[in-house]
Amino acid sequence: MKTTVLKNVRVLDTESCEVTHYDNVVLNGGRIAELNHAPVQEDGREVIDCKGLTLMPGLIDCHVHINMSSWSTVQNATLPNSLVAARAARILNGMLMRGFTTVRDVGGADRGYVMAIEEGTIVGPDLVICGKMLCQTGGHQDVRAKWDEQDPEYLRFQLGSKSHICDGVPEVRKAVRQEIRAGAQFIKIIANGGLAPTGVPITHLAFSEEEIAAIVEEAIIADTYVAAHAYTDKAIERCVRLGVRTIEHCVFVSEKTARMMKEKGCFAVPTMATFETLEDKSSSMTPEQQARAQQARESAYNAMVILKEAGVPMAFGTDLTHISLHYHQSDEFTYRSRVLPAKDVLQSATINAARLLRKEHEIGNVFAGAKANLLLVEGNPAEDATLLSKPVNMRLIIKNGEVIKNTVA
Ligand SMILES: [Zn+2]
């Protein structure tokens, strides 16, 4: 088994946000074997002198869509599957080079990507998938034209489509079972309208309470949880009350609902990057849609303050679409830093995200036994999280013990 020794490092603990100097951190077989305060025998092992820079866990993004490379979801759903996959490979590699060693795809990615990453065919972050997202007929991700009465089943086989259309309790139960069978590690639902120009107004809810409760029950049967796309307070309240565990976007959450999220152990996944890049998409929006998007952006900042006040754990999310926008992923650190302390922003992309994924025993912090998914960075991100917005500050990127980038030597 390959052993690498990282010597002369300052290790940032993402829980306490304290920094401790170690003489060396030994990596073995893709894991952190030990952290030592005394020099070790180097005899033939790969040794990297980290020059006292900060070692921290690889970043985690809990809201991505690796299959999204077009301006619109409608257009994306019509692309050839091979083109979608080829672009996704590039998108995934870009994420890893920005320091993201784990990402959660919240609609679209299938098991083939997980296999391709595991075998090394795609060099990208570890991927957590939900398969297609569950959406009701006429819901926010039913991308068929209004005059298209085809059976929506075909959308399940378009790689660039994110949705699995299902209605009524028996169908939603079956849809969950189909996604789980195909490799889903959690279930995603569309529980609200949205901001997309071709989508459904934000005032619409989606799925009946009976349907949501059935989806939650099926997810629990499969030992997993449900994530919901929800903007309005009404949509969020309903999901939280019915047992949904992670609320995506969470833009118009009220203080009362935030307190309920805290009581129920929910996570919020704000996605500022997608709102901050709306101007790039504005050519496809009417002035009224643009005004609403602007309002959503302001509310999304306010929501983070409300969630922090209520003590709701927040995880890092970006929700970027067009292939030319994915590089804004790292800017999420800067956006969040406008309203949250550096410590909270850092934890959203490390320890909180690991807990959301139920993987805190192996990722999200630096400890013996953890996966060797590591970054060596300039400065201290617990004091200034915007450092993570600049990939140039990442002098070393290590995934599963393999050095992906090294500019420290
Ligand atoms: Zn999304």
pLDDT tens readout for residues 232-277: 999 999 999 999 999 999 999 999 999 999 999 999 999 999 989 8
Local confidence band at 281 (pLDDT 50, 70, 90 cut-offs): low
CB under 8 Å to 242, separation ≥6 — which residues? Answer: 209, 212, 213, 216
Ligand 1 centroid, distance to 271 Cα (angstroms): 8
Average pLDDT over residues 157-180: 97
Q: What confidence tier does 171 reach under pLDDT thresholds 50, 70, 90?
A: very high
CATH of domain 59-356: 3.20.20.140
CA of 241 relative to ligand 1 center, distance in Å: 22
What is the share, in percent, of the chain residues with pLDDT greater than 90? Answer: 85
| pLDDT the model gives residue 309 | 98
Tokens representing 86 are: 């080829």
Residue 339 has pLDDT above 80, yes or no: yes
Average pLDDT estimate for 147-163: 93
DSSP readout, 14-50? TTT--EEEEEEEEEETTEEEEEESS----TTSEEEE-
Distance 334 CA to ligand 1 centre (A): 20
Give the pLDDT confidence score for residue 71 in this predicted structure.
84
**In the chain, which residues fall in CATH 3.20.20.140?**
59-356
For residue 33, report the distance from its CA to the centre of ligand 1, in Å: 36
Segment 211-231, tens digit of pLDDT: 999 999 999 999 999 999 999
How far does the centroid of ligand 1 lie from the alpha carbon of residue 300, in Å?
Answer: 15
Helices (H) and strands (E) in the chain, counts: 13, 17
At 106-142, the pLDDT tens digits run 999 999 999 999 999 999 999 999 999 999 999 999 9
Which DSSP string do the residues of 281-346 spell out, in sequence order? HGGGS-HHHHHHHHHHHHHHHHHHHHHHHHT--B-------STTTGGGGGGHHHHHHTTS-HHHHH
- Cα 64 to ligand 1 centroid, rounded to whole Å: 6
Q: How far is the CA of 237 from the centre of ligand 1 (A)?
A: 19
pLDDT confidence of residue 38 = 82
pLDDT for position 2:
83
Distance of CA 372 from the midpoint of ligand 1 (Å): 28
Asked if pLDDT for residue 346 goes beyond 90, the answer is yes
pLDDT greater at residue 321 or residue 365: 365
Q: What secondary structure letter does DSSP report for 2?
A: -
From ligand 1's centre to the CA of 248, what distance in Å?
7
- SS3 for 338-364 is CCCCHHHHHHHCCHHHHHHCCCCCCCC
d(CA 246, CA 112): 25
Q: What would the two tokens of residue 360 be?
A: 């805190």
The band of 84, judged by pLDDT with boundaries at 50, 70 and 90, is very high
pLDDT band at 282, cuts 50/70/90? low
CATH of 3-58+364-406, one of 3.40.50.300, 3.40.50.150, 1.25.40.10, 2.30.40.10: 2.30.40.10
Residue 4 has what pLDDT? Answer: 94
Between 22-26, 146-150, 236-240, the lowest mean confidence (pLDDT) is in 146-150
Percent of the chain with pLDDT over 70: 98
* pLDDT at residue 291 tops 90: no
What is the 319 CA–ligand 1 centroid distance (Å)?
Answer: 5
CA of 62 to the centre of ligand 1 (A): 10
Model confidence at 146, pLDDT cuts 50, 70, 90, reads: confident
**Is it the case that residue 52 has pLDDT exceeding 80?**
yes
DSSP single-letter state for residue 58:
P
Give CA angle at 202 (349, 208), nearest 5°: 95
Ligand 1 centroid to Cα of residue 163, in Å, is 11
State the distance from the centre of ligand 1 to the C-alpha of 240, rounded, in angstroms. Answer: 18
Mean pLDDT of the chain: 95
Compute the distance from residue 65 Cα to the ligand 1 centre, in Å.
7
- Kindly give the distance from the C-alpha atom of residue 73 to the centroid of ligand 1, in angstroms, as a whole number: 11
CA 57 – ligand 1 centroid, Å: 24
CA of 38 to the centre of ligand 1 (A): 46
Centroid of ligand 1 to alpha carbon of 254 (angstroms): 21
Q: Residue 343 — pLDDT band, cuts 50, 70, 90? A: very high
**Rounded distance from Cα 20 to ligand 1 centre (Å):** 37
* Encoded amino acid at 55, one letter: L
- Split at pLDDT 50, 70, 90, the class of 6 is very high
Q: Which residue has the tokens 């565990």?
A: 245
Average pLDDT for residues 49-74, to the nearest whole number? 95
Q: Ligand 1 centre and the CA of 70: distance in Å?
A: 14
Q: How many CA atoms lie within 13 A of 272 on its CB side?
A: 23
106 CA from centroid of ligand 1 (Å) = 6
Does residue 283 register a pLDDT over 70? no
For CATH 2.30.40.10, the residue range(s) in the chain are 3-58+364-406
